[in-house]
Structure 1
Amino acid sequence: MMHTTAAGTCPPLSAEHFQRQALLCQWLATLLARELDEPTLQAYLAGDAAPLLDWLAEDGLAAEARRLRQALATLSLLAQPRLELAADFATLFLGDARHCAAPYASCYLSERGGFMAEPAQRMAERLADAGVAPAEDFNEPADHLAVMLDYLAGGYRQLAETRTPAERDSALAGIGQFLRQELCSWLPAFSQRAARLAPASAFYPALAALTEAFCRHRLAEAETT
């Protein structure tokens, strides 16, 4: 996904703020769903990710945004950036769940650390209740991080459409509960696993750290409102 709107501040807890969070959730979900294709990679190398990273920096995630920005800047130093990034994606996210940074909640929250456990069932129920389903070309369990971030984006879009303080507070409480129970409960371990691996580029470890910090930041916002 590419977005080129100029970054700028927006009032906290405004419709614009929540729309921005939805967009950032979807961007992170896109990056975690599959390897970057060549056109998207070239767009990012040309600076198309800068506005999104600026938004994150404005919102208190300057260190994490700077780390991902620096990782993007060094991709051009790789002999074959797209192929080496694809190899990194496979190493970090598609390997043995016991040793890689598997992007599934079940691998961290279930008793045996396996796939398709209670977190996947809970997430599937959430999706069914919301009347949504993962894209047909994305054949992953419901507790894949990209699916969960896309669901969170939908929550922020709904939040942006609330009309009264009571509606906003109720919707924000629901988002806070989802973040606390279903994302922030395992993303630190996910980020730590990614940091321990040694891919060709720092891109995906930086992305994992940014995603964890973003969700933690959103939880703090929901709980202090």
Structure 2
Amino acid sequence: MTIDTPINTQQTDGAEEWQAANTARSALYRWFADIFARELTPTTLEYWQDQRIYDSIHNAFVSLDLEPYSIRVKTALANLEKLPKKEQALELAADFAQVFLLSGDDSAPPYASYYLSEDKHLYGEPTVQMRKFLASQQLSLNTEFREPDDHISVYFRVMSLWIDSSIEQQLDMTSSAQEQIDFLDEALLTWLPQFNARCQKIRVISDLYPALTALAEQFVLADREGLATVTE
């Protein structure tokens, strides 16, 4: 994935700029959705480690004043290269399991229900709400993605699809921005900070997943701030 367009919506002053920013926003939400959906394959990791590839993504985060968070990701990728090539993806797979797949007390479950339900059980009210939202928007999950509907990847994917739809239908940017703000406020930012905080406390071999989680939270906050300027 390469991103050549600055995505700071605060800089947009017309429909053409808004559309260009949306294209980049959609790509980054989709990128984050893929990151949390599954562990990185050796091929994907090698692709990321091509400095030219991540530099394109890094530049997008720089445009949002998120350079320190993106540099942390770049540093984690560089540190991985200190390991033997055949071990890098294996170590990341172990980290993915440690951070996202173990029991709640030992990991950071990537499900809204864990953070918003008193009993921390999965398939809680957030799962029901997301399922209803997907149905209302005529969206469906990939049948190969066998996770509850309130998995963090679903929220990022919904944002990407929603942005794509606003581009295709050329929806009014003010109302579209407000709807996306409401979704972020009510569905994602109610628990994303807690999720990130747990990720930072887990002992892992590589800093890559904690760095990516911190970057994801800051991206959503920056995107929400940019959307707010569109509605003013």
TM range (shorter): over 0.9
Cα distance in 2, alignment partners of residues 64 and 159 from structure 1: 28
Tell me the residue number matched to 1:136: 143
Name the CA distance, whole Å, in 1 between partners of 2:169 and 2:76.
37
SS across alignment from 2:65? coil
Q: Structure 2-normalised TM-score?
A: 0.90
Q: 1:56, CA displacement in angstroms?
A: 1.1
2:88 & 2:202 partners in 1: Cα distance? 18
Residues in 2 aligned to 1:173 and 1:8: alpha-carbon distance in whole angstroms: 22
Q: Deviations over 1:110-144 (max 9, x none)?
A: 12111011111111111111111111111001110
2:37 counterpart of 1:30: no
Q: What corresponds to 2:127 in structure 1?
A: 120
Q: Does 1:68 pair with 2:73?
A: yes
Q: Which of residues 186, 194, 197 in structure 1 aligns to 2:199? A: 194
Output the CA distance in 1 between the equivalents of 2:177 and 2:25. 12
Aligned to 2:173: 168
Contact 1:64 1:210 in 2 (8 A): yes
Aligned equivalent of 2:227, options 198, 204, 222: 222
Please list, as runs of the form range in 1=range in 2, the aligned pairs for 1:78-97 lying within 5 A after superposition.
78-79=83-84, 80-97=87-104
- Report if the CA contact (8 A) 1:14-1:160 is conserved: no
Describe the SS at the equivalent of 2:61. helix
**Is the 1:159–1:172 contact (alpha carbons within 8 Å) kept by the matching residues of 2?**
no
Partner of 1:17: 21
8 Å Cα contact 2:6/2:24 also seen in 1: no
Q: Residue 42 of structure 1: SS of its match in structure 2?
A: helix
Tell whether 2:105 aligns with 1:98: yes
The answer to whether the 8 A contact 1:176-1:223 is kept is yes
The answer as to 2:37 corresponding to 1:40 is no
* Structure 2 unaligned regions, length at least 5: none
Q: How is 1:139-158 mapped onto 2 (pairs within 5 angstroms)? A: 139-158=146-165
The alignment's C-alpha RMSD in Å is 1.5
Bigger helix fraction? 2
1:208 aligns with 2:205: no
Whole-angstrom distance in 1 between the partners of 2:138 and 2:5: 33
After TM superposition, the score normalised by the length of structure 1 is: 0.92
Is 1:107 aligned to 2:104, yes or no? no
Shift of 1:219: 1.6
Residues 5, 21 of structure 2: 8 Å contact kept: no
State the alpha-carbon separation in 2 of the partners of residues 116 and 54 from structure 1: 37
SS at 2:36 equivalent: helix
Q: Could you tell me which amino acid in structure 2 is paired with residue 21 of structure 1?
A: R
Shift of 1:53: 1.8
Of 44, 49, 57, which residue of structure 2 is paired with 1:52?
57
Q: Secondary structure at the match of 1:77?
A: coil
Q: Which amino acid letter does the alignment assign opposite residue 9 of structure 1?
A: P
